[in-house]
Structure 1
Amino acid sequence: MKGASSEFLQKIEEQYIEGIADNMRTYGVSATVGRVLGVIYTNRKPMTLEELSTETGMSKTRMSQVVREMIDLNIASKVYEKGVRKDLYNVEEDYYQTFISLFTSNWQKVIQKNKMIGKRLANQIHKELEQNDQLTEETEEELNLWLTETKQWMNYYQWLDELVDFFESGEIFKHVPKPE
């Protein structure tokens, strides 16, 4: 932008960072993570915890927690730069990959948790059906309905698991291509 003032550029950068923060809320991630993602992204190079703390006004301890959360979400990583002794952190610069990382990271946790719940419920129901010879016909029917429901539950989470794989493999782009 020829002749753009540094104040104008600063405002653009702040709006960009706030836009990312708003997007993160949509993905179920804190706006704080979004702001830090935006700060690193607009910096256009890896940053230390100290630099991030200064830039955001957060404590180094809080910054460390936020960066750890970003690494867990697969949207940031620790990087090495020759001659730099402090840990540096960078973010994924591909918007599509950031979306996939956020989408799949959140769903993987839900999928694993609910698969465990489904297995536990199915085991409990099977055990009750096999070991309790005092069940009324009505109770046995109800337990079998719950067993069917649990199987549908497990099928749903298996389907979600396959959907996550569809995104992570990049197969999604064969069906919904990125714009040129």
Structure 2
Amino acid sequence: MEDNESLDRSRKIVIDAIAQNMHLYGITPSAGRLYGLLFFSDKPLTLDEMKEELGMSKTSMSNSVRSLLDLNMVEKVWVKGERKDLYTIKEDWYQCFFDYFTIKWRTAITTNSSAMGKSLNKLQELIADPETSEDIREQALKDVNKLKDRMDYYDWQDRLIDSFETKEILNFVPIKKND
């Protein structure tokens, strides 16, 4: 019995840490506890099994699973003879990181680049308008330069994300340390 309690305590340390840091992924600590449960499970689990183990409502459990599915951290699996949906973690943590990183960062870059592109167009119109005062034109030119510099940054980030998607990044930072 004491061994079982020690095992549970050691697992709880990891599960609590995962739950605490899930905000980095934009999801709730309860999704982190769910992920930790699936991590230590030797078999895929149903929503009912997860609900029973964690004491969460079915709605909360379903939302947590959906969040983890959207981030490609868990997957639905099929088991012969089982009628309920079963879930397990994706074992390739490197791919999970690549997926998460590319999904989240690509969205942010697209949103910011689009807004800055629109702003650049408006600023160019303002600069070209003969009615614009010299003072406003100077400020607009400064803004254009700032935005162009930032667009270069977003281009660099976009290429970095491409290297994650193609796994070219592994040529520079291999999974295994070189001795």
TM-score per shorter chain, which class?
0.7 to 0.9
Per the alignment, residue 44 of structure 1 pairs with 42
Aligned-residue Cα RMSD (Å) equals 2.2
Indicate which of 135, 138, 152 corresponds to 1:141.
138
1:28 deviates by 4.9
- Residue 160 and residue 29 in structure 1: after superposition, are their counterparts in 2 closer, same or farther (change >3 A)? farther
Q: How many residues align?
A: 177
What is the distance in 2 between the residues matched to 1:112 and 1:48? 36
Shift of 1:98: 2.8
Q: What amino acid does structure 2 have at the position aligned with 1:48?
A: T
Tell me which of 169, 174, 178 is aligned to 1:177: 174
Q: Displacement, 1:43?
A: 0.7
* Aligned equivalent of 1:59: 57
Q: CA deviation at 1:125?
A: 1.4
Unaligned runs of 5+ in 1: none
| Alpha carbons of structure 1 residues 105 and 29: separation in structure 2 relative to 1, 3 Å | farther
- Matched-pair identity in %: 37
Deviations 1:24-57 (A, max 9, x none): 3455543222211111111133222112211211
Structure 2, unmatched stretches of 5+, are none
Deviation of residue 94 (structure 1)? Answer: 2.5
Pairs within 5 Å for 1:15-94: 15-94=13-92
Q: TM-score, normalised by structure 1?
A: 0.85
SS across alignment from 1:37: helix
- The one-letter amino acid paired with 2:109 is I
Q: Look up the equivalent residue of 1:159 and give its one-letter code.
A: W
